[in-house]
Amino acid sequence: MDEQQTLDLGTVIILGTMGMIILAMGVVVFFFIYQRRMIAKQNELTMLELQHQKELMGAVIQTKELEQRRIALELHDDVGSTLTAIKFSVSSFTIGDKDKELLNNNLADAIQKVRRISNDLLPSILEELGLITAVKSLIKTLNDNKTVNYVFESFGEQIRHPKDVELACYRVLQELLNNILKYAHATEVRVEIVLSQSGLVVIVTDDGDGFVPEDHTNHERPSLGLKNIESRIQQIKGEITYEKRLPKGTKVLIDWKRHE
């Protein structure tokens, strides 16, 4: 009788122990799976957020482009034509020749400025004559600034790519050159464009301080330029790479391919 009881106790203990071990394993496995799911969900959420941010950025750029277009047209058609009208009516004024000439010069200057601004906002030359010509003209105006020497070269075929691609490249180039002027302390900047049926490549090299976006992580002041560049390149499904050059300077390469 006594023998029987201890035997039973032993069995209970062994079974109980097994039960506990299985339970503990269950707990570990449960937490493991649960945690995995949670991480996956979290990743998905951040991905969605990122995607959303990108879309927002794209929308902002689009709106900005539309707004610029509106202002440019307004400037050109409204202010510009008003100024031109005034210029023509000056000849009928009864004032001295000298005053007339001064007025004429000032007016011509104003018209010129309005044209330049509206062209900056909406590079009509880009739409009409294409990327190469537009960049050539951009470089020419930039070369009026004597501290930096800009060189432009184009290679490949004389073809046109979709409007949005050309515009994106042009805007990115504007921002890149702007940044170089502002921060790089460069003396010579080269812009090269290679056009082909399969796509286009834009290369900007300078001999300045050298810069890659990863360097710029302290955002003590708002800066949109680099983000805009990334967003625009993403929208046309292109690629942009920054690279420090030896001994000094930066090389930026924009690569876009047709039918990706």
Partner 1 sequence: MILLSIISLFTILLPSGMVFYQWKSTDIATRPIRLLLIITLILDSIIYYYFITGQNKNNMFLFHVFTFLEMILLILYFRSFFRQNWIRRMFFVLLLLFSVMVVLNIFYWESLDDFPSIPRTIECVVVMILSILFFINLFQQSTVSSLMRYNHFWLVSGLLLFFAGTFFMNIVGSLVINKNDLGFNVYDIHSFLNIFLNIIYTIALWMSSRRLISAQ
Q: Which residues bind partner 1 (CB under 8 A)?
A: 6-7, 9-14, 16-17, 20-21, 23-25, 27-28, 31-32, 34-36, 38-39, 42
Q: Does residue 231 interact with ligand ATP by CB under 6 A?
A: no
- In the list ligand ATP, partner 1, Mg ion, none, the entry touching 14 (Cβ below 5 to 8 angstroms by class) is partner 1
- In the list ligand ATP, partner 1, Mg ion, none, the entry touching 7 (Cβ below 5 to 8 angstroms by class) is partner 1
Q: How far is the CB of 120 from ligand ATP (least distance, A)?
A: 15
Residue reference for tokens 């020497």: 149
Q: Which is nearer to partner 1, 7 or 102 (CB)?
A: 7
Angle formed at CA 214 by CA 203 and CA 258, multiple of 5 degrees: 40
Residue pair 206/213 in contact by the 8 Å Cβ criterion: no
Q: Which is nearer to Mg ion, 119 or 179 (CB)?
A: 179
Q: At what angle do helices 97-121 and 81-90 cross, to 10 degrees?
A: 170
Q: Which is nearer to ligand ATP, 144 or 220 (CB)?
A: 220
Residue reference for tokens 């940044």: 179
User: E strands of the chain, at which residues?
Assistant: 149-156, 188-196, 199-206, 239-244, 250-257
Q: Does residue 223 interact with ligand ATP by CB under 6 A?
A: yes
Residue/partner pairs of 58-67 with CB below 8 Å, 24 or more apart: 58/231, 58/234, 58/235, 61/228, 61/231, 61/232, 61/235, 65/167
Q: Quick one: which of 107, 139, 226, 253 contacts ligand ATP (CB under 6 A)?
A: 226
Q: Does residue 123 interact with ligand ATP by CB under 6 A?
A: no
Q: What is the DSSP letter of 180?
A: I
Which residues of the chain form contacts with ligand ATP (CB under 6 A)? 179-180, 182-184, 208-209, 211, 216, 223-226, 250
